[in-house]
Amino acid sequence: MVSAPVQPGKVPAGYELRVLVLLGLAFGFAYFDRMSITFLGPQVQADLALTNEQLGWLGSGLSLTWALGAYFIGRWSDRIGRRKPFLLAALVVFSLCSVFSGLAWSFGSLLVSRIVMGAAEGPFLPICLAIMVAASAESRKGLNAGIVQNVFGSLIGTALAPIVLTRIAEAYDWRTAFYLAGVPGLILAVLIWRYIAEPERPAGEASAAPEALTLAGEVSVLRDLLTSRNIQVCALVSIFAVGSAVVGSIFMPIYLAGPLGFDLVTTGNMMAVTGLCPAVGAVAAGLMSEKIGRKPALALFVSLMMIAPAALLWVDGTATMLAGLMFVGWMGLGSFPLFMGVIPAETLGRLRAATAMGLVVAIGELVGGVFAAPIAGRLGDAYGLEAALYLQLGLAAFAGLTALFLAETNARVTGRAAIA
């Protein structure tokens, strides 16, 4: 029997843990599907005779629809007050897109499957978190949201995925790996339909009319946001950091399996080492930002992202040594919650926090996520794969320099500075 709607403040015992586990697994496997093209890239590229630029466009197409889907479908869900139908539809669509990726016979067919997958996965996390918050006790809302996004996403999407997918591809082929990657999402869709209820809207919101949306109003809001110095800086950091991360996730495995000569399983193991970095880095960056301020913590951690490409380019070491350096460098991804969430929220306050965060994320995905990878691919085709890693390194360096222009937003730090 399908779960009945759960009223706010009346969560049954055990229901919160059930929602946490199911939504965490669902987001983890959504990220698993997104990252599959990264870890299977060497085999896909060889079998379909793809250029480096085409490989870059596969990541860019997904980033584009991910950003658009996150905004428009998330906004649609907010306006009609329904979560579960969108969540179930997204699960089914992106799982089927993984299967269709395995059926691809050309660059065009594979690109279409990744574009549709991005549109389905883009709104997935915001809707997951909306359901999670409604099912959580007041004292655990932030903790549960962080577990869904950082713990499950890192463990399944970036730590487990390279180990599992590369071994399946090695034992069978890359197509089989794509087919099997889509299965968990379909199973979770059934479990979520069966065991998670549609959150009921609070009484005041249930009777409220949807907010009127006009083009002029939306343009005015965006213009107001972009007059803030910190929002401008965070948007630029987002472009550079997202671009560096996307280029690295696509071309580091290709470089490991190509010029450096590691086999597919070793490459998968080395990338798996970096899988826990976002979670570890986010904790470290967050703690440092509380002690010494958001600005120095952000500048330091986005600059760490230079280490991974620098190690692959300039260090002649073993797989273990390179994996260790990649781990340190990839901890820089822990800076993302700072410039995408904390700093915009502290700059503009809670009333406009969601819109500000959404704008920073969208700009980063639409510019850095969409254009950096194909540019890196074209440079790699023309000058060798080293050029793609130099671009990755340069984007991280620009992110670190740009972060220095922030105005500090940690009230305790600015308070101490005023006293001094």
Per DSSP, what are the bridge partners of residue 378?
Answer: none
What is the arithmetic mean of pLDDT over 122-136?
74
Q: What is the per-residue pLDDT across 139-198, written as a single tens digit (0 to 9) for each?
A: 666 567 667 766 787 788 878 888 889 889 989 999 999 999 989 989 999 998 988 887
The rounded distance, in Å, linking the Cα atoms of 112 and 127 is: 24
* 179, part of any domain: yes
For residues 175 and 239, state if they share a domain.
no
Query: What's the sign of the alpha-carbon dihedral 13, 14, 20, 26?
Result: negative
- Asked whether the predicted pLDDT for residue 213 surpasses 70, the reply is no
For residues 343 and 298, state if they share a domain.
yes
3-state secondary structure of 199: strand
3-state secondary structure of 406: coil
> What's the burial of 391, exposed, middle or buried (CB within 10 Å: 0-12/13-18/19+)?
buried
- The answer to whether residues 110 and 56 touch, using CB atoms and an 8 Å cutoff, is no
Q: What is the per-residue pLDDT across 352-393, written as a single tens digit (0 to 9) for each?
A: 555 666 678 778 888 888 888 889 989 999 999 999 999 999
The rounded distance, in Å, linking the Cα atoms of 307 and 299 is: 14
In the block, tokens 């002649």 appear at 316
Please tell me the predicted confidence (pLDDT) of residue 56.
Answer: 84
- Last residue of one domain, picked from the residues 176, 202, 228: 202
Looking at 231-309, which runs of residues are DSSP E strands? Answer: none
Q: How many domains does the chain have?
A: 2
In the block, tokens 């401008």 appear at 232
For residues 242 and 370, state if they share a domain.
yes
Kindly report the average pLDDT of the chain as a whole number.
82
* 2, part of any domain: no
3-state secondary structure of 6: strand
The rounded distance, in Å, linking the Cα atoms of 417 and 379 is: 45
- Last residue of one domain, picked from the residues 202, 233, 265: 202
SS (HEC) of 102-120: HHCCCHHHHHHHHHHHHHH
What is the arithmetic mean of pLDDT over 236-245?
94
What is the arithmetic mean of pLDDT over 34-59?
86
For residues 294 and 410, state if they share a domain.
yes
Lowest-pLDDT range, 200-214, 223-237, 326-340, 381-395?
A: 200-214
- Which domain, by its residues, includes 397? 214-420
* 4, part of any domain: no
Residue 397's pLDDT band (cuts 50, 70, 90):
very high
What is the arithmetic mean of pLDDT over 291-316?
93
80-86 CB contacts, 8 Å cutoff, 24+ apart: 80/210, 81/201, 81/205, 81/206, 82/198, 83/127, 83/130, 83/131, 83/198, 83/199, 84/131, 84/192, 84/193, 84/196, 84/197, 84/198, 86/123, 86/127
Concatenated DSSP letters of 20-56? HHHHHHHHHHHHHHHHHHHHSHHHHHHHHT--HHHHH
For residues 263 and 318, state if they share a domain.
yes
The rounded distance, in Å, linking the Cα atoms of 5 and 11 is: 10
- Asked whether the predicted pLDDT for residue 207 surpasses 60, the reply is no
Q: What is the per-residue pLDDT across 66-83, written as a single tens digit (0 to 9) for each?
A: 778 776 776 666 666 677
For residues 70 and 46, state if they share a domain.
yes
* 7, part of any domain: no
For residues 102 and 250, state if they share a domain.
no
What is the arithmetic mean of pLDDT over 305-333?
93
For residues 383 and 279, state if they share a domain.
yes
For residues 242 and 347, state if they share a domain.
yes
Please tell me the predicted confidence (pLDDT) of residue 110.
Answer: 92
For residues 302 and 383, state if they share a domain.
yes
The rounded distance, in Å, linking the Cα atoms of 251 and 373 is: 9
Lowest-pLDDT range, 37-46, 90-99, 183-192, 199-208?
A: 199-208
Read off the CATH number of the domain in which 235 is found: 1.20.1250.20
Residue 1's pLDDT band (cuts 50, 70, 90):
very low
For residues 72 and 125, state if they share a domain.
yes
Q: What is the per-residue pLDDT across 84-117, written as a single tens digit (0 to 9) for each?
A: 888 888 889 888 988 999 999 999 999 999 899 8
For residues 131 and 235, state if they share a domain.
no
* 1, part of any domain: no
